Structure formats: structure tokens, C-alpha cells
Structure 1
Amino acid sequence: MFVIFGAAGNVGRMSATALRRAGREVRAVVRDEQQGGPLAAIGCEIAVADLSDAASVARVIDGAHAVQMLCPVPRAHADPEAAMRHMIDVSVAALRANPPSRVLALSDYGAEQPGGTGITTLFHHLETQLRSVDAQLTFLRAAEHMHNWARVLPMALAQGVLPSLHHPLSKLFPTVAAQDVGLLAAELLLDAGVPLASPRVVSIEGAERVSALDVARTLDELTGRPVAAHEVPRGEWAAVLQRAGLSEHHARLITDLYDAHNAGRIDVEARVSERRFGATTLAQAFAAMLPRVAGTAAALR
């Protein structure tokens, strides 16, 4: 049994689909039953779990051969860092008590750094805690997801302005499509080759690095509407993020992350020997997203 946490998300759904295509039994872990419909349709067993509840996590990993672990940032929580650290500690305790043969953790570029990287510091905590689990460990560190731009696509399409926290606008940064991360995660879970040193650390990013200018140019080309990238002044970051609905604590995690990004600290670790590259281009990822944001964009015009 392959247990996929966060199976209703962009990465988890692709992993579950790939594993089912390979003929494997999949237990898709979701936050509520309503998220499970499409996964049940492809033959997944649906399990509802609360990552902050030890008994809930223990129940869904019981009988697992492999576990794909995702600890999402709890956006609605007043203190998402504390809440996510708690979820990590609870989940790792359950895995330590009943370890499967394999555990793959979805992590981030920069997770090797112990601090000063905002949200990415939490993935450092995840990797550190998982090292105590008696299993073949894989840390899959992904670059910034292309679908993160979906939050600002409606504004970009409606107003022709793409706000960016990447400074300067010409700075190239690694990015990757969620579907490519999900496919690679499934591939690594299925890898039945000679056991490698644990933990196995694998990085993934797209074939080409991009800039905020490239992102705006791609939108322009796909939609036929002029879109200009706008460098949001550093002093306005927190206010902009809080107006977008983030709590003060969550906004600080984002600003710390982009400070580290702009200082060149968020990148593939030099010692990572396994580097993979996704096949999906930024244009392909955006083409799939645009129909879903078109309605919101029209309402903002």
C-alpha cells in the first residue's frame, strides 16, 4: 500500500494517479471526504486524516509499504509556523512508531539551511525530524512551483500588472510544475533498485530558469494582452500580503523567504548529486491555469 498525504493537491494527485497507472494500491489521504471523489474514481482508497492528531495519522499509515509525506502550510492558522511544526512532530512520531519501508518527503530548495529562510525553515525541520525514522528516506526538494503565480494571475490579466517579490525583475530563479514533482515522487517511490544511502536527496526544477520579466512576457504571449512585471517595493511586502488575506505571521514567513531568495540563498544544494529536471514549460503550466482564473480576472476589470 502506497499512502499519499495531500493527495487532493497538485503534487499528491499526480503521484496518486501515476501509482495507480503502475497498478499499485494507493491510500489517498485528504482533509475531508469531499476531496476524495476524483481519487476514488481512479481506484484509490480514501482516508481522511488530521495531521495534528496522532491517532488519525497512525491509522492512515497502518499497513503502508511507502508513505509520501506532505505537511502543508496551514494558511488559515493565526500562527502557521507553530501549527506546521506541530503537524510535523505528530506525523514523524507516528512514522517512528510504525515505520513503513520507504518515506518520501516533499521538501523545498534551501531546506538544508537551519534558519533565515522563512517557510523553507519549516522544511528543514521536517527533514531533520524524519532522520529519526527507521526507513529508506528520500527528500525530494522542489524549486518554487509555477502554480504559485495563480494567486496573482487574475490581477495581471485584469490590470496588466504582474506584482513580483523577486528582485530585480531580471533575476533568474528556478521553478517547476507541480505535475512534474508529483510524477518524479511516484517514480522515486517505485524505484526498486539497489538501496541507496538514506536519506536520498533529490532536487527538481524546470529545464530553464525564468525571471519575473519572463513570467509577464509569457502571459502576454498566451493572452494577447499586455502584461508588465512590477517590482513590489520591499517596504510594502507585508501590507500587500496581509491585504491578500495572510495573517501577520504568515506574511513574515513569506517576506523572510523572498529576502533569502533575492539574496541568492534559495537554490539547489551544492552537495545534491541527484538533480532532475521537469519537462513542463512555464507556458504549458500557465495555459492550463488560465481557464480557471479567467472568471476572477473578468470580475476585477
Structure 2
Amino acid sequence: MYAILGAAGKIGYSTSSTLRQTGVPVRAILRSKAKSDPLSAIGCDIAVADLQDPNALAQAIAGANAVQVICPPLPHIPNTADDMVRSIGSIMEALEKARPDLVLAISDYGAHVRDDIGMPTMFRYFEERLAELPMRKIFLRSAEHMEGWAALFPVASAISTLPSFHHPVDREFPTVSARDVGMIAADLLLRPDLEINQRVVHVEGPRRYSAADFATAFTRLLGRDVTAEAVPRAEWFETFGRVVSPSAADLLVKLYDAHNRGGLVDVEPGGEVRYGTSDLTGALRSRLPAG
């Protein structure tokens, strides 16, 4: 039995569907049954548990041989970092009770960095806490998701400009389709290296892209010229603050500062890397608004 925490998310659904295609049993763990229909349709068992309810999580995980865990940040709540710490504690408690043979944790590029670089530092803490557990662990560090840029389709369509916090806009950075992360996670769950108690794997797309490359993809998909434009550093916090809490904005400002310093939000030196197959235009096309 493979238990997938957050199975309704982009990565979780991809992992679940890939596992089901091989015929293995999958238990999809969701916050509520509201998003369970697509998972039931592919033959998943459904379990409901809140991320911060360790007893319910432990019951949902119970009997699973392998578990995929994820700690998604909630950017709109007052203190995103504190909420992630509480969720990590709950996941730890649940895993200690359920004791699966293998845990695969979805982590983040840059989680190896010791300095505070915002969001990746939260995932460093996630990895450090999970490292305390006795079972075998795989930390799957994901590059920035291509699909995350799809939120900018309305802006690009309205003003023909793609705002970027990546400076300069022609600098390439690691990025990956969330679908590919889930597929590679499924492969690692099915074929873990039994000789390694704790394994770190990085996953990114077939090539690296720049913000200018994203603008080119937007141009193709929208049928109008779109140009990447760097958002001035002095405007970052205010810009993020329009859509997320101050706590989340602080994590994001530190993240993009680290990106723009170069070499931090990247593969750990000497680290193992797996590559997805989805190209940028294809990944964004799947998120193109109707009409």
C-alpha cells in the first residue's frame, strides 16, 4: 500500500495516477472529500485527515508500506512559517506512530543551504526533522514549478509584460513540471535503493529556462508579444503583499534574493539529479485559461 499525503495537489495526483497505472494500491489522503472524485475514479482508496491532526494522519497512514509526504505553504494565513512548523510537527508525530517502511518527502531546491534563504530554509527544517525518524527516507527536492507562472497569464494578456523576480531576466534557473515531479516520485517509491537509509534526489526539467524564455512561451500561447520585465527589488515586498501575507512575502523576498545571488537555489554540490521530460510550453499550455 502506498499512501499519498496531499493527493489532490498537482504533485500528489501525478504520483497517485502513476502508481495506479502500475496496478499497485494507493490510499489518497485529503483534507476533505471535496476533491476526491478524480482519485476515486482511478481506483484510489480515500482517507480524510487534516495536516495538523497527527492522530487522524496516523490512522490514514496506518498499514501503508510507503508514504509520500508534503508540507505545502499556506501563503494567505498570518504566519506561514509558523504554520509550516506546526504541520511538520504533526507529520512527524503521525509517522512515528504509523512507522511505514519508507517515507518520500517532497522538498525544495536549496534545502541544503545553511543560511536563511526563505522558503528553501523551511524545507531544510522539514528534512532535518524527518531525518530523526528511523525508517528509510527519500528527500525529493523539486525545482521551481513551471505551472506556477500560469498565474501571470491575465497580466501578460492585459499589458504584454511578464513581471519577473528573477534578475536578470535572461539568467537561466532550474524549473520543472509538477507532473514530472510526481512521476519521478512514483518511480522512486516503486524502486527505492534498499542499501541507502537516507537518499536525496533533485528533480528538474530537461533544460533550464530564463524569465525571457517564459515570456517567449507566453507569446506563443497567447498569440501576442510578451516581454519579460524585472520587478525592481525595492517593490518586491509590496508586490508580494498584495496577494500573500507579510510572513509569506518575507519568505519569498529571501528566496528570490538567493536565486539572484546564484548557486544557492540549486542542486547540492555532488547531488543526484533526475530530469523530467515536459518542456516549458507544454507545461504552461495545460494551465492556459479557457477562452
| TM-score in terms of structure 2 length | 0.97
Aligned to 1:168: 168
- Alignment check: 8 A CA contact 1:96 1:132 kept: no
Aligned length: 290
Deviation at 1:294, TM superposition (A): 4.2
SS at match of 2:29: strand
| 1:267-282 superposed matches below 5 A | 267-272=266-271, 274-282=272-280
Deviation at 1:98, TM superposition (A): 2.5
Aligned to 1:46: 46
Q: Does 1:228 align with 2:227?
A: yes
Aligned to 2:75: 75
Task: Give the letter aligned to residue 252 of structure 1.
Answer: D
Per-residue Cα deviation, 1:182-221 (whole angstroms, up to 9, x for no partner): 00000000005x5132211111111111111111011112
Whole-Å Cα distance in 2 between the matches of residues 129 and 257 of structure 1?
21
- Alignment check: 8 A CA contact 1:61 1:67 kept: yes
Per-residue Cα deviation, 1:6-38 (whole angstroms, up to 9, x for no partner): 101111001000111111111101111111111
Task: Give the letter aligned to residue 231 of structure 1.
Answer: A
- Alignment check: 8 A CA contact 1:206 1:278 kept: yes
Aligned to 2:287: 289
| 1:115-264 superposed matches below 5 A | 115-191=115-191, 195-243=194-242, 245-264=243-262
Whole-Å Cα distance in 2 between the matches of residues 237 and 196 of structure 1?
45
The root-mean-square deviation of aligned C-alpha atoms, in Å, is 1.2
Deviation at 1:226, TM superposition (A): 0.8
- Alignment check: 8 A CA contact 2:59 2:98 kept: no
Per-residue Cα deviation, 1:242-292 (whole angstroms, up to 9, x for no partner): 11x2011111111110001111111011131x21111000011111111xx
Aligned to 2:113: 113
Task: Give the letter aligned to residue 245 of structure 2.
Answer: S
- Alignment check: 8 A CA contact 2:27 2:46 kept: yes
SS at match of 1:12: helix
Whole-Å Cα distance in 2 between the matches of residues 14 and 294 of structure 1?
22
Q: Which runs of 5+ in 2 are unaligned?
A: none
Task: Give the letter aligned to residue 236 of structure 1.
Answer: E
SS at match of 2:46: strand
- Alignment check: 8 A CA contact 1:116 1:260 kept: no
Whole-Å Cα distance in 2 between the matches of residues 294 and 235 of structure 1?
34
Task: Give the letter aligned to residue 285 of structure 2.
Answer: A
- Alignment check: 8 A CA contact 1:5 1:68 kept: yes
Whole-Å Cα distance in 1 between the matches of residues 237 and 151 of structure 2?
16
Aligned to 2:91: 91
SS at match of 1:96: helix
Task: Give the letter aligned to residue 254 of structure 1.
Answer: L
Whole-Å Cα distance in 1 between the matches of residues 197 and 110 of structure 2?
19
Farther off after superposition, 126-135 or 112-121 = 112-121
SS at match of 1:289: coil
SS at match of 1:202: strand
Aligned to 1:36: 36
SS at match of 2:286: helix
Aligned to 1:19: 19
Whole-Å Cα distance in 2 between the matches of residues 188 and 252 of structure 1?
33
SS at match of 1:104: strand
Whole-Å Cα distance in 2 between the matches of residues 98 and 218 of structure 1?
45
Identity level (%): 44
Aligned to 1:299: none
Whole-Å Cα distance in 1 between the matches of residues 254 and 88 of structure 2?
21
Whole-Å Cα distance in 2 between the matches of residues 15 and 196 of structure 1?
23
Whole-Å Cα distance in 1 between the matches of residues 47 and 157 of structure 2?
38
Deviation at 1:84, TM superposition (A): 0.4
Q: Which runs of 5+ in 1 are unaligned?
A: 296-301
Task: Give the letter aligned to residue 286 of structure 1.
Answer: L
Task: Give the letter aligned to residue 219 of structure 2.
Answer: D
Whole-Å Cα distance in 1 between the matches of residues 65 and 33 of structure 2?
23
Task: Give the letter aligned to residue 189 of structure 1.
Answer: L
Whole-Å Cα distance in 2 between the matches of residues 50 and 97 of structure 1?
16
- Alignment check: 8 A CA contact 1:172 1:209 kept: yes
| TM-score in terms of structure 1 length | 0.94
Task: Give the letter aligned to residue 236 of structure 2.
Answer: W
Deviation at 1:56, TM superposition (A): 1.4
